Structure 1
Amino acid sequence: MPRLPAAIISCAVCWYHRFNLSLRDIEELLLERGVSVTYKSVHNWCDRFGAQFARRAKAARDRPGSTWHMDELFVNLRGEPYVLWRAVDEHGTELDVLMHKRRDKAAAKRFWRLLRSNPVPRRIVTDRLRGYPAAKVEIPELAGVKHVFVKAAARVNNRAKNSHQPTRRRERQMLGFRDPRRT
């Protein structure tokens, strides 16, 4: 098979990571455009170039908003429960995610540290998980940040809850996750 131009590979990887498409959907879209590839090729491209695409997309986006919504979600990975920590800004832009085995202060602290690459927010909205304030106290940059706690039913943290929907949809489609990188 002849080697394909970088623009086609980049487009396929972009579609896979940006939209909720399966590998076979991307194979069909490329075929409609006259490019014959297998879904396995698309899978290999996503594994090989996916991290580069994510870095470029993160660098190209606007500065995050001043209000962060943080939430966690339980997912099954190879039949074991894991916690997927997620932070989104007030516009719904995902700031970062962390997959961890536990839902405690140490995991929250690790997640706060992961978010250091973003500018410090003015306000943080979380649920009533006790790990958030305990970990926030130990990080000096977050000392002056207003921390708002919401009840699960209050719908103030809907930005974070809505960002879980594509993950849940993908989990149903794949009948559970098998690879932490794809989760």
Structure 2
Amino acid sequence: MMAERGIDVDHSTVHRWVIKLVPLFEKTFRKFKQPVGKSWQMDETYIKVKGQWKYLYRAVDKVGNTIDFLFRAKRDKVAARCFFEKSIAQNGVPETITIDKSGSNLAALHAVNAERETPITIRQVKYLNNVVEQDHRAIKRITRPMLGFKDFRCARIILSGIEVMHMIRKGQMKTESGTYPSAAEQFYSMVM
């Protein structure tokens, strides 16, 4: 598009634009995000940064709408608890959360429940998590050809941009009733 207009742009310039603008897009999208269901499925997936595995925590509701995501360097109780607290603060309290057999996720949920009057129901069944496991595929499909990330901060920002676009593609942005805009039209309406 830039070449058609006679402007030469290097790939590093585009990378700098992404790093600078994606946090603004994410913040704006959160204002237009539709509410999610009360039954959550949570899991983490692996993303390689500088040759080491890092962890992308993700949650979807029972119909597959993305609830939230968080990219962390470690997979432990502290990281899982940060994810749950962030997700609950931005999306409200769920009735049930389905997790796999991960001990750190279970410990984090017990810590979150200890501070609540009405506890969140925890279902720890491996095969009930298939919706979130399948949703990981969309993120992996985009990150696999990228040849890995070189910096954790850049990876976190780029992954948040990928997640926002994935939510827009799934139709999670509030639109006028009766209209069905494309993903590009939804993105442009958010930016303008």
Change (3 A) 1:44 1:176: closer
- Give the corresponding residue for 1:135: 108
In 2, Cα distance between equivalents of 1:53 and 1:117? 16
The answer to whether residue 149 in structure 2 is matched with residue 177 in structure 1 is yes
Q: Contact conserved, 1:120 with 1:141, CA < 8 A, in 2?
A: no
Q: Please, what is the CA RMSD of the aligned residues?
A: 2.2
Alignment size in residue pairs: 150
Match of 2:60 among 88, 94, 113: 88
Of structures 1 and 2, the one scoring higher in RCO (CA 8 A, sep 6+) is 2
- Give the corresponding residue for 1:46: 18
The answer to whether residue 83 in structure 2 is matched with residue 111 in structure 1 is yes
TM-score by length of 2: 0.68
Q: Contact conserved, 1:65 with 1:90, CA < 8 A, in 2?
A: yes
In 2, Cα distance between equivalents of 1:175 and 1:107? 26
How far does the alpha carbon of each residue in 1:164-183 deviate from its partner, in whole angstroms, 9 at most, with x for none?
11221123211122232324
After TM superposition, the structure 1 = structure 2 runs for residues 29-108 of structure 1, keeping only pairs within 5 Å, are: 35=5, 37=7, 38=9, 40=11, 41-108=13-80
Please state which structure has a larger fraction of its residues in helix.
2
Change (3 A) 1:142 1:46: farther
How far does the alpha carbon of each residue in 1:87-140 deviate from its partner, in whole angstroms, 9 at most, with x for none?
122232222222222222222112112212221011111101112221122222
TM-score by length of 1: 0.71
Q: Percent same amino acid among aligned pairs?
A: 29
In 2, Cα distance between equivalents of 1:101 and 1:69? 21
Unpaired segments of 5 or more residues in structure 1?
1-26
Q: Contact conserved, 1:137 with 1:143, CA < 8 A, in 2?
A: no
- Give the corresponding residue for 1:144: 119
Higher CA-based Rg? 1
In 2, Cα distance between equivalents of 1:47 and 1:175? 18
